[in-house]
């Protein structure tokens, strides 16, 4: 399974980066191939200063070796070995009318002292973080999420949407990071579903990413915007940074397993502001976004 899924995410990385380069029309992805001293490595692809994308990363990694003590406590296990592979992407458009998007699809195995696989699971999802609210964009994104889920189980979309709304939440701010999408983790062979069933579902979600995001980016990337709207984008990006550094489990896992720092932190946007006690004007477009982030909606 690990070889099968790794092949899938490498092919998906190629598909996504090629499609993004075509939409951007100016910049191309730079690839870094790196190795982790304890075992494994990855292929990090980053695009910067494009016509549409100010910064973006589409990274694939596969790492293995002894599970660090800090992560043993997190998983509530003793000394074990692990294997983890996944594709993680974050795209920060230049235009504040175009939303940031994040997605990842991952697979994990754990082994006992004899090298026998004793646990395995999938995780992942995708979510949308706009700076200005276009309801038709939110509806399109969630419709694609729902379509990928409904082909596998009627409960998947409502369950994984709820988990996404709960997970991507800046509790210290009392607001969501964005408009949600899907979030799932620890998808094992259980509840009558085999690990092959889980693979089929996770790859279906991955295959819907471009359909979910590219039409939104294409229709927003060339809209006019003001310096004030750009400033708002940078302030909201600050909330994105706060979530990734304070709450995100993937960032924590990467740092505690001696992952590649540049790849782990590629999700951070290039231009950000933190304004002291900043609040948007009442009844403004900016305030409308904040109102939506206070309470999840059923966009689909």
Number of C-beta neighbours around residue 256 at 10 A:
14
Q: Could you report how far apart the first and last alpha carbons of the chain are, in Å?
A: 32
Two tokens at 5? 């899924």
Structural contact between residues 153 and 273, judged by C-beta atoms closer than 8 angstroms: no
> In sequence order, what are the beta bridge partners of 40?
63
For helices 209-220 and 195-207, angle between their N-to-C axes, nearest 10 degrees: 20
The residue among 107, 104, 108 whose CA lies nearest residue 81 is 108
Cα 154 to Cα 6, 150, 172: the distances in Å are: 28, 5, 33
Task: Look up 64 and say whether it is catalytic.
Answer: no
With tokens 């592979």, the residue in question is 85
Q: Which of 43, 64, 92, 102 is catalytic?
A: 102
With tokens 């660090």, the residue in question is 68
Two tokens at 134? 């276009």
Two tokens at 16? 């996504």
Write the DSSP string, 80-112: -EEEEEEEEEEEEESSTTSPEEEEEEEEEEEE-
CA angle 78–111–83, rounded 5-degree value: 105
- What residues are annotated to the active site? 102
């Amino acid at each position: 399974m690990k070889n099968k899924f790794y092949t899938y995410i490498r092919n998906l990385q190629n598909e996504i980066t090629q499609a993004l380069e075509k939409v951007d029309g100016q910049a191309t992805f730079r690839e870094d191939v790196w190795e982790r001293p304890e075992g494994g490595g990855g292929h990090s692809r980053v695009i910067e200063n494009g016509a549409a994308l100010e910064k973006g990363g589409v990274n694939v990694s596969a790492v293995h070796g002894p599970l660090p003590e800090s992560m043993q406590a997190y998983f509530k296990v003793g000394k074990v070995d692990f294997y983890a592979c996944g594709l993680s992407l974050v795209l920060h458009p230049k235009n504040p009318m175009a939303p940031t998007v994040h997605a990842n699809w991952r697979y994990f195995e754990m082994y006992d002292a004899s090298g026998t696989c004793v646990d395995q699971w999938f995780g992942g999802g995708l979510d949308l973080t706009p700076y200005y609210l276009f309801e038709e964009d939110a509806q399109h994104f969630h419709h694609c999420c729902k379509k990928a889920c409904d082909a596998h189980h009627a409960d998947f979309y409502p369950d994984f949407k709820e988990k996404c709304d709960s997970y991507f939440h800046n509790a210290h701010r009392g607001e969501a990071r964005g408009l949600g999408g899907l979030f799932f983790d620890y998808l094992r062979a259980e509840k009558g579903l085999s690990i092959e069933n889980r693979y089929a579902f996770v790859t279906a979600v991955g295959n819907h990413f471009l359909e979910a995001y590219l039409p939104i980016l294409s229709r927003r990337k060339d809209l006019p915007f003001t310096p004030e709207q750009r400033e708002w984008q940078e302030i909201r990006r600050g909330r994105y940074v706060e979530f990734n550094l304070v709450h995100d489990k993937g960032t924590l896992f990467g740092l505690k397993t001696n992952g590649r720092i540049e790849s782990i932190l590629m999700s951070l946007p290039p231009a950000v502001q933190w304004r002291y006690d900043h609040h948007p004007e009442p009844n403004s477009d900016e305030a409308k976004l904040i109102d939506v982030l206070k309470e999840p909606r059923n966009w689909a």
